[in-house]
Structure 1
Amino acid sequence: MQYTKPLSIIAVLVTAMLLFYSNFIRADISFAQKPSQVQTSTVNPVNEVASGAIIYTLSDKSVLTQIALDTKVQMDITGTINRVKLTQTFTNPSNDWVEGVYVFPLPADSAVDHLDMIIGKRIIEGQIKEFRAAKKLYNQAKKAGKKVSLVEQQRPNIFTTKVANIGPGETIKIAIEYQQAVRIDHDQFSIRFPMIVGERYIPGKKISTQPNALGNKANTHRVKDASKITPPTDANADRPVAISINLKAGFNTDSIVSPYHQISIVETDKLTKHISLKNTQANRDFELTWQAHKTLTPDLALFTQQKGDDHYLMLMATPPADEVFKQSHTPREVIFIIDSSGSMMGSSMEQATNALIQAINRLKPTDRFNIIDFDSDFEVLFDTAIPAIDMNKRHGIRFSKYLAAEGGTEPLEAIKFALSSRDEDSHKYLRQIIFLTDGQVGNEKELFRAVQQNIDDDRFFT
């Protein structure tokens, strides 16, 4: 399961990746929170390009666009958390040592926590560093001729990776891992994986724009980084995408649907379904939706994970079918226990009395009720529960209005009486005991024990 400590949405991710001479290298890299005084429009001097495209800056300062891109996505959805690993491959098609810039869109609610750059058999792993330190590290490594990668965010869902010193014909893979929350709308769960950067409307008057700007819109006085967030696109580009998903929904699913793509679904076990989307084109976002198969009882799922010496758990509850919440015709036997001790004096007594009166008025003639008032002792309105006809309800309301807050808080005997006040007809009713109090007592264990020993089939609310 992929569920870790909460992650804040990372405003700017800067990754400086150094290549040394081992098969697995831990480099000085950064996923850092950008200081608030740094403006997005001035972070990266190289204007970024479209999803699925890489812009190489050659030795003569000219640019070369490479559209072809291979993308592989692995998602592990556990309850309401989606853990994603995104791997993208590209190759330097020129005969020059170049710097490349690639744009990839990510969900706006995601938090990236890992990035690897893979060159041949060598892997360079990112480490978190402060923004300015990582920026300095990137520039130093670039000048030294080392492989180096810089990842930045231009807008909440547009991330870029800039890689320096790419050799002629060299293939580079970038692997990013992030977490996002599953979207829940009424009874529908969904995730969306962006595969294109939508065209943005740019308002305002044109202002100075860098001569080597690669965007298709000039900067304006209202959008000063327009040339960075309007990359060129090519509808005919070959951009294959393969997506593999392990879905542990936490309940039996009634439907699993992708509205825009054809998917394959295989049930790997009772808890997991494997969903795949093979080698489609990145011409529109991928969306997956699923719904629970609801029964008359709620579903509970407990997910656990160990990370290092720490243990984490997530409890997920899925409500029952709507039929459960429809109007019930089962008659009720409601026993109200109301606290009129000294601690209830003032607004607490007034609110409790008003709530009791409203509850009495909502009773049906087929229901039965009784009221138990307690402070240092307790007093019962009726010897046993009686029908909730108008005359009896009026009697109960008068009793409630004359309650006065005084005395100690001794609920134990009142609770015991309520739980033992069944008669020969009580089995015909749904018995509910409603406990109204604002007090805190020191003998709660004694109260819990009395309820556990005498609750039978009654329902106790407080």
Structure 2
Amino acid sequence: MKCCGLLNAEKEPVPLKSVEVELEVRAHVATVVSTLNYENKEDKPLEAVFVFPLPGDAAVCHFSAKIGQTEIVAEVKEKQKAHEEYDDALSSGQQAFLLEESDQSPDIFSLSVGSLRPGESASIRLEYVTELAVQADEGLRFCLPAVINPRYQPQGSEDVCIQVTSVPASLVPYSLSFSARVSSPRPVSKVESNCPLDALQYLNTEQTQATVKLVGGHKFDRDVELLIYYKDAHQPTAVVEAGQASAKPGSLMGDPVVMLSLYPEFPQAVMSSVASCGEFVFLLDRSGSMDGARIKSARETLLLLLKSLPMGCYFNIYSFGSNHEHIFSESVEYSQKTMEEALKKIEEMGADLGGTEILEPLKHIYSQPCIPSQPRQLFVFTDGEVGNTKEVINLVRKNSGSHRCFSFGIGEGASSALINGLAKEGGGHAQFITDTDRMQPKVMQSLRFSLQPAVMDISVKWDLPKGVSVTALSPPITALFQGQRSLVYAQLTGQSSEAAEGCVTVKYSLAGHPSQNQLHFSLKPAEDTGLPVHRLAARTLIGSLEMEERGSGGDKEEGVKKKVVELSVQSGVSSAFTAFIAVNKGDGEVLQGPLVVRNVPTPRMMACCMPMPQYRNSISRLIPMRDYCYQSDVSESCLPKQPPRDPLLQLVSLQKASGCWVLDPALAAALGKTSEEVEKPKPASVNQEVWATILALIWLHGFKMDAQEEWELLAMKAVSWLHAQNAPCVTECVEAGNALLGFNVQKDALGL
């Protein structure tokens, strides 16, 4: 084992000098151009290896290198061929650059910069496009990851581990400059970030275009997260993008491509009735990297979730690390007794189960028979540091007919490929929670989604002018949620008049009622935009084909693989079976002396140890293979300190499974009163539980309106319980409760 830190005792300078990132956001598509500047300050020829994360569904579409005045543009080639070209170039003294996706996880790339001569500089330009996810508060989230947390390889895995040198953020030897330009059909209301930004500059009076950049001197010591807010972001939209003039008509790149953003609106009558059934399975990561604030926040979130579950449902809680545990041998009916038993176990949960073996607990969950008329809803909480991402997602896809999967990526460095893949293949919803976020609002939003009726029989119908035909490029829509975006890509073939209009209708069945939403759009393509929609459509299709390849065998597998390689080469978008290769033929002068490898450090959030890499091929140089090992020795001092228990959680913890509260000293303390103060004003004809429950509701509305999304469901349960009691003197209770707690909360605001 070789511990992390700067590469050697002499602290030799690392060749990556600076990173420049330009972000262009059009509506909800981001085009990201990164320029990496290298310099070899050593007296020997050098190979630099830079390993970095990208969004799991990003379409990497351009890669070029500039050495001195010579620029070479990389081509996409079949992976094995690209590797051979790279090795041949280096052994014959030419410079070469290789960019490829990890075999195990599509959100990790490694860039090998081959044989920089002493004193020489190289500038590498990398471009990718990605869709921006919509957050709970309707902001669009862009994340530029700084961190590659070591990925845990399951025991018995044959994959070789990659050597990533992590250094404390203060010693990261390169700087980052970052600027963003945002344009949208609707005004840009604000842009927020976890890093200091210069003021937002509007470029026009309609405020539909704006620029923003990071304050200068930013040390790339954490993920850069941008949240972009538009006015009326929830309107459905269509973008038609013209094909590439040089590409063949009838091909994906030659034809126009349309991207539809659909926001289904469900009837209010259906949405107001929350489901009172379901099997809720919670799967919690308890690996060493969840230590400190993360595991504490997860425990508090599970408390809120359990209190918010409807009576009559079933539930179970699994946790995993190197092995897995469950609270009940099978899902049990939700009651006061089972809820208390679960909460007791949750209190004892620590980040003490070792590695991140998520595959086995998932297999165990799927092996349990489903409970009739209790739809299974799976909630997965993990910091996502696993190496076998593709295998895990494949398992969820195979079982997608039996459940919906809601996933939560906790902390910086959580694999976007894993978190998004779980939700996408499981017909659920994904959320990312950085260490500064409160987990609870996002999780409760997903619980509300899981309580929405499942949308069945989803179909997309196109109505286009004569002479225009459509080919769907996206997989069929499997999940729709109120107010959540669904993206659909399609290729349009044929000709129509300039003024032509198309229409798309999404039909579905919701709680047994047939429903539909329609979107009319102009077929006139937008002006040249650099083909981001075509590239995202190609990436979507490649992703579907890669999934198909994993589920097939023999000749079919080879056929699918061939199709992926063809599509990847044609669209210039990377895939699991291709790589970008650039060779500078130059003067072919053979390099003198051995080639030295420098692994460029990435900033770290935590201490870690890495295994030594293995040698590859004929040249004796260390080339990292793709994937990561993990040893859990995170010290709690690295993580932010949490305040003592929140008064909201204190009150919530006292609620009964039925929804009511009991009048006792613990409730009085949570309300900030003595037992006597709480008991004295109770109207004589009212029982103690009704009085206690009304007081708790008044306190929530009076003190905690800013956190309403966290307690809304458990308050609805309390109101239902009160209605069922047919209690007298409710108005009198509300007035007395307001007087006691010093509020003026109206009876109808409480739902009474």
Higher relative CO (CA 8 A, sep ≥ 6), structure 1 or 2? 2
Scaled by the length of structure 1, the TM-score of the pair is 0.48
Larger strand fraction of residues: 1
